[in-house]
Structure 1
């Protein structure tokens, strides 16, 4: 059993998702008990799985700090990267701001793939891509 302290100003509902969707999804995928208690999260289960889930929550919190909100797709993205052995991508993706609109909203890559695409455009004269617009 391990415990992670949460920042006092963190939006718990935003972290756990509407109707605890994010929480339930992570519990089911990793078979780890997750409980909110006394300003922190208690994790219970296999040690390796608990460590992975704690890292996922750390990345989710980093993403929330950068963006303000956490979408379900972003949670799935973070989970998938941890399952593939890639760590800490929540902060890497959210760090780079490409531009700011006239209304002040920030334009930035939402996924690691988009970030790689932007880097390719910066370092090469021609970049080809295949996929949906």
Structure 2
């Protein structure tokens, strides 16, 4: 790789689009500097990028593509600069518009939810094209959040009549019996992440109304036994903590005109030592069935705070 230092000047035609690209007090350009090691100077609509040839080419390509995205009406967020850099580092010829412009849902705060990595884009496409999809990978990769966004979109557009969100109530170091309250209060902490995601999508008041009307159901996995779930978007979260029997029970609940998304992290199984994860077994048994697709995420897909990716990497190194 050629690492000689070079400079590249980018000239942007539209002043307002350029200002949006730079961010308040050039904050977005500072993010690129901190993440890629280049130096960026601005004079009006002209940007000078200097540094090693490889870094300059990546940063310049990122700026050019995000400028075009803003021109197409995409509301570029500060986090998109980090995501874009990561994509272009691994795939220099990637087209960010093919990923970022895939609008999954618009929240009540008018925030556009779209995939931020190639794997997230494949995941969204898999959910659109298959009745059952497994999203497997570490925390922070958007598995559950994107699935909830797809569920909200399917409900709003009339593709389904209800949303069912469920998790196994498996103790991660604590015992349910020692928690205060009745059964609903005891299992509520396990279901809180699903409530939070839905509140982001439709707003707390609307979410509560839909729950009270039975259009949205958030319940422990045990409550699914004996039911047939038709015309619904069903999400099983934390599926690594299902047993073989629970996974089989859940998958056979799926009725006509329904789709199911199963998410989990096989590195964080909280089952007793002698019990095998139903998610791990499903990977082996169902991998070649038409209509079922498995999407695997890695630490490069983490879309939380940048430290989360480093934490995951540190643990992976330690376990190896």
Q: TM-score, normalised by structure 2?
A: 0.36
Whether 2:9 is the aligned partner of 1:18: answer no
Of 87, 95, 109, which residue of structure 1 is paired with 2:114?
A: 109
- Find the counterpart in structure 1 of residue 102 from structure 2: 96
Change (3 A) 1:86 1:119: farther
Does the CA contact (< 8 Å) of 2:11 and 2:46 recur in 1?
yes
Of 69, 79, 85, which residue of structure 2 is paired with 1:73?
A: 79
- Deviation readout 1:28-78 (Å, 9 max, x if unpaired): 222222112253211222222111111111222133233442211111110
Q: How many residues align?
A: 131
- Find the counterpart in structure 2 of residue 36 from structure 1: 42
Following superposition, the deviation at residue 12 of structure 1 comes to 2.8
Whether 2:123 is the aligned partner of 1:123: answer no
Secondary structure of 1:27 counterpart: helix
Of 59, 65, 85, which residue of structure 1 is paired with 2:65?
A: 59
CA distance in 2, matches of 1:31, 1:98: 33
Secondary structure of 1:35 counterpart: strand
Q: Which has the larger radius of gyration?
A: 2
Supply the RMSD in Å over aligned alpha carbons. 2.9
CA distance in 1, matches of 2:74, 2:112: 14
Q: Which runs of 5+ in 1 are unaligned?
A: none
Q: Which runs of 5+ in 2 are unaligned?
A: 1-6, 137-142, 146-320
CA distance in 2, matches of 1:66, 1:110: 17
Following superposition, the deviation at residue 86 of structure 1 comes to 4.7
CA distance in 1, matches of 2:90, 2:74: 26
Does the CA contact (< 8 Å) of 2:99 and 2:114 recur in 1?
yes
Whether 2:106 is the aligned partner of 1:85: answer no
CA distance in 1, matches of 2:75, 2:46: 20
Moved more, 20-29 or 10-19: 10-19
Q: TM-score, normalised by structure 1?
A: 0.76
